[in-house]
Amino acid sequence: MIGVQVKAQNYHLNNNTKQIANYLNEEAQKSAQTNSKKKSAAIVPLTENDYLADYKYLPFRASDIVKIYPVLKRLEFKNQDVKNLMAQANQAIKEQQMDKAFELYSQANNLLLQISGPMSEEVATCITQIASIQFKFGDFLQAIELQTRAIVLLERLLGLDHPQVAYQYSTLAMYYHSCGYFQMSFTYMFRSLNIL
């Protein structure tokens, strides 16, 4: 499937092809009446099939197209075991049992990698949660590494301008700030704000 981005203008979009064909016929008659003094030519009325078959009647022209991009559709596979492990891990975080939550998220991540491969939103979520736990343990550099890996996955899955990517960049900025890397922290926070 292909997506098309066109210039922002006021386009007349209408799905009623009979109405559009009638409108174009009326316009052709009006222009013929004004030009009837110059030359007299027979006006052939448009039908619905003519309208649909000829691209010149589209509401936008080829010059209006800004970019063409692929639209990827994929199935989301939900595994009940992974869902249970993540729910248990979330409960462990609420109960402040970080060691147990770390183990449960690690198990869920390993299971997801075996089932769906590394390119999955759930894998990125697990990695983000593991990074958060590492941050709470005080292992800031490991948290930064894991958070960066999660951002790379989310950028490839959701796109560079997705709000979830912006949120993860702000989290990475917080991790860098805690380590004392203020310039890097500022850079990632600025990138997060630019996305939003």
Q: Where are the domains of the chain?
A: 2-70, 80-195
The answer to whether the CB of 157 falls within 8 A of the CB of 124 is yes
Taking Cα atoms as reference points, which of 136, 144, 139 lies closest to residue 169? 144
The answer to whether the CB of 169 falls within 8 A of the CB of 192 is yes
Q: Please, what is the Cα angle at 48 between 42 and 53, to 5 degrees?
A: 90
Compute the average pLDDT of residues 147-170: 88
Please report the pLDDT score of residue 79 as a whole number. 81
Q: Report the CATH fold assignment for 80-195.
A: 1.25.40
Percent of the chain with pLDDT over 70: 70
DSSP 24-87: HHHHHHHHHHHTTTT---PPPPP-HHHHHH-GGGSSS-GGGEEEEEE---------HHHHHHHH
Please report the pLDDT score of residue 65 as a whole number. 75
Please report the pLDDT score of residue 119 as a whole number. 83
Taking Cα atoms as reference points, which of 91, 88, 69 lies closest to residue 80? 88
| pLDDT over 70 at 43, yes or no | no
H and E: helices and strands count for the chain: 8, 2
CA distance 25 to 56: 14
What does pLDDT average to over the chain?
Answer: 79
Highest mean pLDDT among 3-7, 31-35, 66-70, 123-127: 123-127
Query: pLDDT higher for 12 or 150?
Result: 150
pLDDT digits (tens, 9 = 90+) for 77-109: 678 888 899 999 999 989 999 999 999 999 999
Please report the pLDDT score of residue 58 as a whole number. 61
